């Protein structure tokens, strides 16, 4: 439909990698009747993170062009092939992890090509939210993460205000020089968009491939709150809880031996230095290793699959060795002066 009252359209973008492998990306566009910023939403970078995918589809359905100021561009899933083959975490074509693929290398691997296509669909935006969750075998406590644009005050303020608008308890600012060993994130989509001047964050809400109504609602409210904060839609935002800043230290525990893993903590639990967090056994029930917290920390996520495969490390990515991720939560994390930027 297209009228003076704005428009709502959807299309499939089709691409072919130099290997001959195809890529399809669905894009919905809602153009408001009145002018305003360009705001992007994507989800399904990891195709089994359904709370965000569901939230994106709901936003496209519910946005009313007549009352929207500006434009909202929605990519509910970053590859129809990944979604429909139920490739919930890694690329169904080359088994790479999209979050760590660099934009700007369309001649590279299939996954590099894919992330460059996504980047080109988003690079002209003012704001962008990429929605993630815990995947099929991952339990997770909600937070919002972002590349912190420390050298551009305008962009920094917009990014923190975008993150701070969302009704989640934790903010997780990242800088390119502070990374955990899982991560080459500073080459990936969030940092590429930041360098292009797009204020952007990624949500981590939902878990275990479950379409939990409360988690879908939280993803949706995060988008709606952001659109309200930047005056693109009217309405009262959902209340935002007292927020705290995670980090900067984080501990990604992984196993160098295969076995049967059982976490002994819950998501969001605060653990003390030395406290047991889980145990690895062999398939006969013999003890291999007990894991303990290296410092006082909060449990951000853990793997709910017991199957730990130390040998399966596709392209160096240690996903099948992953056990648990702990983050530092400093005593003053609720009073960090950077939180002023988020209001
Ligand atoms: Zn994800």
Q: Which domain holds residue 234?
A: 2-244
Q: Could you tell me the distance, in angstroms and rounded to a whole number, from the CA of residue 41 to the centre of ligand 1?
A: 14
Q: Which residues lie below 8 Å from residue 87, measured CB to CB, with a gap of 6+? A: 47, 48, 81
For residue 194, the surrounding DSSP H or E stretch is helix 189-195
Given a cut of 70, is residue 182 above it in pLDDT? no
Q: 275 and 174, same structural domain? A: no
Given a contact cutoff of 8 angstroms between Cβ atoms, the answer to whether 88 and 46 are in contact is yes
pLDDT of amino acid 4: 73
Model confidence at 176, in pLDDT bands (50, 70, 90)? confident
Kindly list the protein residues that place their beta carbon closer than 5 angstroms to ligand 1, a single-atom ion.
Answer: 46, 49, 132
pLDDT of amino acid 323: 97
246: three-class secondary structure by DSSP: coil
Asked which of 56-70, 242-256, 273-287 is least confident by mean pLDDT, the reply is 242-256
- pLDDT tens across 202-232, in order? 999 999 999 999 999 999 999 999 999 999 9
Given a cut of 80, is residue 92 above it in pLDDT? yes
CATH code at 257? 2.40.50.100
Q: Is residue 127 part of a domain?
A: yes
Q: 240 and 253, same structural domain? A: no
Q: Could you tell me the distance, in angstroms and rounded to a whole number, from the CA of residue 133 to the centre of ligand 1?
A: 5
Given a cut of 60, is residue 3 above it in pLDDT? no
What per-residue string of b and e applies to 207-230 under the rule 16 or more CB within 10 Å gives b?
bbbeebeebbbbbbbbbbbbbbbb
Q: Could you tell me the distance, in angstroms and rounded to a whole number, from the CA of residue 45 to the centre of ligand 1?
A: 6
What strand order describes the sheet that includes 307-308? 287-292, 276-281, 259-263, 307-308
Q: Could you tell me the distance, in angstroms and rounded to a whole number, from the CA of residue 284 to the centre of ligand 1?
A: 33
Q: Could you tell me the distance, in angstroms and rounded to a whole number, from the CA of residue 238 to the centre of ligand 1?
A: 24
The arithmetic mean of pLDDT across residues 283-306, rounded, is 97
Residue 11: both structure tokens together = 């299309």
Separation CA 3–CA 18 (nearest Å): 39
Q: Could you tell me the distance, in angstroms and rounded to a whole number, from the CA of residue 134 to the centre of ligand 1?
A: 7
Q: 170 and 316, same structural domain? A: no
Q: 213 and 262, same structural domain? A: no
Given a cut of 60, is residue 183 above it in pLDDT? no
The arithmetic mean of pLDDT across residues 310-321, rounded, is 91
Share of the chain above pLDDT 90, in %: 90
Higher pLDDT, 103 or 179: 103
Q: Is residue 304 part of a domain?
A: yes
Residue 8 bridge partners (DSSP): 30
Q: Note the pTM of the prediction, 2 decimals.
A: 0.96
Given a contact cutoff of 8 angstroms between Cβ atoms, the answer to whether 200 and 128 are in contact is yes
Higher pLDDT, 316 or 330: 330
Q: Could you tell me the distance, in angstroms and rounded to a whole number, from the CA of residue 135 to the centre of ligand 1?
A: 7
Separation CA 189–CA 116 (nearest Å): 8
Separation CA 236–CA 224 (nearest Å): 10
Q: 310 and 196, same structural domain? A: no
163: three-class secondary structure by DSSP: helix
281: three-class secondary structure by DSSP: strand
Residue 9: both structure tokens together = 């359209």
Q: 122 and 51, same structural domain? A: yes
Q: Is residue 339 part of a domain?
A: no
Q: Is residue 22 part of a domain?
A: yes
Q: Is residue 109 part of a domain?
A: yes
Given a cut of 80, is residue 2 above it in pLDDT? no
Q: 278 and 227, same structural domain? A: no
Q: What is the CA radius of gyration of the chain?
A: 20
> For residue 327, which of 246, 245, 218 has the smallest C-alpha distance?
246
Separation CA 43–CA 8 (nearest Å): 19
Q: Is residue 7 part of a domain?
A: yes
CATH code at 191? 3.40.630.10
Q: 322 and 202, same structural domain? A: no
Q: Could you tell me the distance, in angstroms and rounded to a whole number, from the CA of residue 5 to the centre of ligand 1?
A: 35
Q: 267 and 121, same structural domain? A: no
Q: 81 and 173, same structural domain? A: yes
Q: What is the residue-averaged pLDDT of the chain? A: 94
The arithmetic mean of pLDDT across residues 146-171, rounded, is 96
pLDDT of amino acid 180: 47
Q: Could you tell me the distance, in angstroms and rounded to a whole number, from the CA of residue 6 to the centre of ligand 1?
A: 32
What per-residue string of b and e applies to 149-159 under the rule 16 or more CB within 10 Å gives b?
beeeeebbebb
First to last CA, the chain: 37
Q: Is residue 337 part of a domain?
A: no
CB atoms within 10 A of CB 98: 22
Model confidence at 181, in pLDDT bands (50, 70, 90)? very low
The arithmetic mean of pLDDT across residues 105-110, rounded, is 97
Q: 282 and 171, same structural domain? A: no
Give the chain's domain count: 2
Separation CA 222–CA 205 (nearest Å): 10
SS3 breakdown of the chain: % helix, strand, coil, rounded to 5? 25, 30, 40
> Going along 244-342, which residue ranges are E strands?
244-245, 250-254, 259-263, 270-271, 276-281, 287-292, 297-303, 307-308, 322-327
Separation CA 318–CA 255 (nearest Å): 9
Given a contact cutoff of 8 angstroms between Cβ atoms, the answer to whether 122 and 198 are in contact is yes
């Amino acid at each position: 439909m297209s009228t003076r009252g704005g428009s709502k359209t959807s299309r499939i973008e089709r691409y072919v990698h130099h290997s001959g492998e195809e890529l399809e990306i669905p894009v919905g566009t809602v153009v408001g009747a009145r002018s305003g910023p360009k705001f992007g939403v994507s989800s399904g970078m990891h195709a089994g993170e359904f709370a965000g995918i569901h939230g994106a589809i709901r936003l496209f359905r519910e946005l009313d062009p007549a009352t929207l100021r500006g434009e909202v561009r929605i990519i509910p899933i970053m590859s129809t092939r990944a979604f429909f083959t139920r490739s919930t975490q890694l690329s169904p074509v080359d088994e790479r992890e999209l979050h760590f693929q660099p934009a700007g290398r369309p001649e590279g691997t299939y996954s590099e090509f894919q992330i460059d296509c996504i980047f080109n669909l988003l690079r002209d935006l003012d704001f962008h939210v990429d929605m993630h969750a815990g995947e099929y075998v991952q339990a997770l406590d909600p937070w919002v993460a972002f590349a912190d644009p420390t050298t551009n005050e305008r962009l920094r303020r917009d990014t923190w205000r975008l993150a701070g608008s969302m009704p989640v308890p934790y903010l997780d600012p990242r800088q390119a020089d502070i990374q955990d060993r899982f991560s080459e994130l500073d080459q990936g989509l969030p940092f590429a968009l930041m360098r292009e001047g797009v204020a952007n964050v990624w949500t981590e809400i939902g878990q275990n491939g479950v379409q939990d109504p409360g988690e879908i609602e939280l993803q949706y409210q995060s988008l709606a709150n952001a659109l309200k904060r930047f005056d693109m839609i009217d309405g009262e935002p959902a209340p935002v809880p007292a927020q705290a800043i995670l980090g900067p230290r984080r501990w990604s525990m992984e196993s160098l031996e295969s076995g049967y893993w059982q976490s002994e903590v819950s998501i969001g639990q605060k653990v003390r230095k030395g406290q047991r967090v889980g145990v690895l056994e062999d398939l006969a029930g013999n003890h291999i290793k007990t894991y303990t917290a290296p410092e006082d920390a909060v449990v951000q996520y853990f793997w709910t699959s017991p199957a730990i495969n130390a040998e399966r490390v596709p392209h160096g990515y240690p996903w099948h060795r992953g056990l648990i991720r702990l983050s530092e939560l400093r005593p003053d994390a609720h009073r960090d002066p950077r939180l002023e930027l988020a209001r």
